[in-house]
Amino acid sequence: MDHIPGFNVDLKGLEGCFTERSAGGNGLFLAGKEGVKTILSPVDNKADFVVYDDKTLVYVKSQLGYPAIYELRDPVFEAPAEAVLMDLDGTSVRSEKFWIRIIQQTTARLTGRSRFELEPEDEPYVSGHSVSEHLEYCIRKYCPDKKLEEARKLYFEITHHEMKEILEGRGRQDAFVPSPGLKDFLLALKSRGIKIGLVTSGLYEKAWPEIISAFRALDMGDPLDFYDAIITAGYALRKGQTGTLGELAPKPHPWLYAETARIGLEMPAEKRNRVIGLEDSSAGVLSIRLAGFTALGIAGGNIGQSGMKPLLSGYHENLADTLPVILGE
């Protein structure tokens, strides 16, 4: 195929990143049947891309049993941007290793192995998605006799302890480090009147200390006064407390980015071409694209490992390198 709807490349350009399948969507789609030209899966196998002549549907898989189907639109961006959507972990703040370590500690407690360590190939599955997705993956691989509810309880016990230690000055002071050039990048966008939305799949209780920590380190005041919108995955649902649907609708689903742009930044759908998103994770890239926006990748995350690079309109070593694209200069 010369053109695959929703992609910037043809089939040849997908080599090493996507694999053609005969079936996808848990058997809902068959290549060569009912208009389906081919079915493509990225290296991490987190979604199936069902390609027709005039459209591509994406079947987003779920560790929790709630898959969904979305259309992947062609990326169209017209510089200069009127709004920039930014991921938190890995893109704005270097914290992925810290949160992967929390997942590792939780799994160690579940397995009863104090020296337990995740394997390198686990990384795409324990970063970028929701806490429950990460934990469900580890349970299936390392301790299938355990329950997700038990894992979540342990995870939040460990998280609350670590966060309290950090906020009181006793914990790891390098847990949340602003990405190189973050302050200059944000100020460059602000000086040009570009709206900035911060988007994370992290629950509020884990995301907010990161944001505060980064702004303190940069001496940038209150992040609520700076960002035009901040959207997290909401609050964890635990016994005796209210919660949100954040655990079932995080990245790679489009809703966090869609809500940030449409509700938080008041960007109407017809202005999608003036919005651009920045991500370092495969789940985030797919989330941006499914929300209808163009995505730029930032090095350091799992985009390359996952096979999601063909969904990008550019891949950059740092935030500063994205400015010429964003500004059209």
The angle, 0 to 180 degrees and rounded to 10, between the axes of the packed helices 148-167 and 96-111 is 130
Q: What is the pLDDT of residues 252-303, one digit of tens each?
A: 999 999 999 999 999 999 999 999 999 999 999 999 999 999 999 999 999 9
Say if residue 148's pLDDT is above 70: yes
Q: What is the pLDDT of residues 161-197, one digit of tens each?
A: 988 887 777 766 678 889 999 999 999 999 999 999 9
Q: What is the mean pLDDT of residues 304-314?
A: 95
pLDDT of residue 173: 66
